[in-house]
Amino acid sequence: MLKALLLRSKLDKKNKELKTLLAQGEDLQKREAELEQAIAESAEATEEEQKVVEEEVDKFNGEKDAYDAAKKKLEDEIAGLENDLKETEAEQEAEPEEPEKPAEEAPKQERKVEHTMNKRFFNMSNQERDAFFAREDVKEFLSQVRTGIREKRALSNVGLLIPEVFLGILRENVAEYSKLYKHVFVRPVAGESRQVVMGNVPEAVWTDCCANLNELNLTFNDVELNCWKVGGYFAVCNANVEDSDIDLMAELLVALGQAIGLALDKAILYGTGTRMPLGVVTRLAQTEAPADYPATARPWVDLHTTNILSIAATVKDKDLISTIVKDFGAAKGKYSRGEKVWIMNEATYTTLMANTVAVTATGQLVAGVADRMPVVGGIIEVLNFIPDNVIIAGYFDLYTLAERAGTKFATSEHVRFLQDQTVMKGTARYDGKPVIAEGFVAIGLNGVTPNATMTFAADTAN
């Protein structure tokens, strides 16, 4: 079973790598079409212009060859892993079931299963799901949930602590509903946390082979991360509570994932930094360093004029895309190892599509925007709480999200009797901030200037 899970994990990783590579292939196809057009136009070009085109073609061919080789290698590795997984699963089906282990061996078994369950609940095989629900901590958790609902009482004053094996699955589900969770740097922490960040990297010094080395001046800063709680309540249909463990678990995962995912996305972009994470736009809009800005942190930089930009309403069509690409240059990806991410609402996304519509040689209408930003590249995420004509972009792996243990779940004392529903609540603890703030930009279209104004759910309980 463990071997199959390991192979499945490797296969998932390779499939993700292939998906990323195929996205690069789409960019290469667009470049190839542009080069074909340039070649067609080069007949009337000067010798110098033709030379530039030839150099671009040579460069493209080199990149295309490297892409084809990398793609073939990945596809071969995936095919090999799929065959190994198929053989392993066939062997497992042929193996007789192991006798139930004595009670004294339970702790050892728990440690083994805990790692195998850190995957999506809905993608588990029947064997994995049976093992999950056979765990004592999971059975006790679901039993107390049912008891609290049927007896119409609270589970306890502090709520019911979710089992550790459940947390990994819950976090996978949060990532399903949060569009930004997968892009930021998620760091599991406990207590007060600091992240060390290197300052400007100095240039190395050339010298003779036998000469003394020069000392380089390296500086390090840190970023403090605190602890804030996010939570809310939701209603669960009593029929699901009374049904199987699978139905109840699915209901809990969906409800908790949706609630926490939405709150995380909004805080990552617009969080005030007070009792919640500090958002990207909030940091860019700062005009002076906060009073509690740590002395050991990176030097605070005023970015509200350089990284919050506005494009006039008169800029349209290709000029609009060109200006957006140019404005993105304010975002510095020096410390980033991820790809660019562009975030906007549905209306703004539609505006971009409308400004990139073109007619092909066959008379078809095509848009240059399709889940990825044209020319400069990068994935597009749509979040409808963002104001119209506002684009937030950057290297989101430069945003650190501290994720703490201790997610809790509890039922209310009062059941929604007429609706045949039970009110439940879920809480989790996070903090976060853009560690390298200059890695982000906020761009306004149609003369709009982005600002940090955002409405959050009111904390009426405190």
DSSP 164-216: HHHHHHHHHHHHHH-SSTTTSEEEEE-SSEEEEEE-PPPPP----TTSPPPPP
Do 12 and 161 fall within a single domain? no
379 and 410 part of one domain: no
Distance CA 407, CA 427 (A): 6
Instruction: Give φ, ψ of 311 to 5 degrees.
Output: -110, 130
Give yes or no: residues 25 and 174 share one domain.
no
Which of 229-243, 293-307, 339-353, 406-420 is least confident? 406-420
pLDDT (average), residues 251-269: 77
Q: How far apart are CA 155 and CA 146, in angstroms?
A: 10
In this structure, are strands 390-394 and 308-310 parallel, antiparallel, or unpaired? unpaired
pLDDT, mean of residues 50-77: 83
- Quick one: 269 and 138 in the same domain? yes
**CB atoms < 10 A from the CB of 132, how many?**
20
Higher pLDDT, 231 or 70: 70
Q: What is the pLDDT of the chain when averaged over all its residues?
A: 74
Residues 410 and 383 in one domain: no
Confidence of residue 448 (pLDDT cuts 50, 70, 90): very high
Q: What pLDDT does residue 77 have? A: 86
Asked if residue 225 lies in contact with residue 400, where contact means CB atoms within 8 angstroms, the answer is yes
Domain boundary residue, one of 47, 77, 93: 93
Does residue 100 form part of some domain? no
d(CA 379, CA 373): 6
Question: Of 117 and 54, which is predicted with more confidence?
Answer: 54
Q: Are residues 139 and 271 in the same domain?
A: yes
Total of domains in the chain: 3
- Confirm whether 456 is domain-assigned: no
The residue with greater pLDDT, 281 or 223, is: 281
Q: Cα 221 to the chain's mean position, in Å?
A: 25
What is the model's pTM? Answer: 0.56
Q: Are residues 222 and 335 in the same domain?
A: no
Same domain, 363 and 233: no
- Average pLDDT for 69-95: 79
In the chain, % of residues over pLDDT 70: 61
Instruction: Give the residue, 100 or 387, on which the prediction is more confident.
Output: 387
In a domain, 438, yes or no: yes
Q: What is the mean pLDDT of residues 168-194?
A: 68
Check: CB of residue 252 under 8 Å from CB of residue 409.
yes
Instruction: Enter the tokens of residue 100.
Output: 């139930």
pLDDT(335) > 60:
yes
Examine the domain organization and report whether 149 and 245 are in the same domain.
yes
Residue bearing the bigger pLDDT, 230 or 161: 230
**If you count them, how many residues does the chain have?**
462
The total of other beta-carbon atoms located within 10 Å of residue 206's CB is 7
For the segment 367-374, the average pLDDT, to the nearest whole number, is: 76
pLDDT of residue 180: 92
Q: Which of 149-153, 253-257, 430-434 has the highest mean pLDDT?
A: 430-434
- 129 with 259, same domain: the answer is yes
**Residue 267 pLDDT:** 92
Whether residue 60 is contained in a domain is answered as: yes
Compute the average pLDDT of residues 265-278. Answer: 91
Residue 155 pLDDT greater than 50, yes or no: no
Q: Kindly state whether residue 389 falls inside one of the protein's structural domains.
A: yes
Structure tokens at 147: 């008891």
Write the pLDDT tens digit of every residue in 100-113: 444 444 443 333 33
Q: Which domain holds residue 70?
A: 2-93
Which pLDDT belongs to residue 328? 95
CATH number of the domain enclosing 395: 3.30.2320.10
User: For position 383, what pLDDT does the model report?
Assistant: 94
Mean pLDDT of 408-426: 56
Is the pLDDT confidence value at 244 over 70? no
239 lies in the same domain as 131: yes
Which tops the pLDDT comparison, 204 or 288?
Answer: 288
Do 144 and 270 belong together in one domain? Answer: yes
Out of 18-32, 45-59, 409-423, the most confident range is: 18-32
Q: How confident is the model at residue 75 (pLDDT cuts 50, 70, 90)?
A: confident
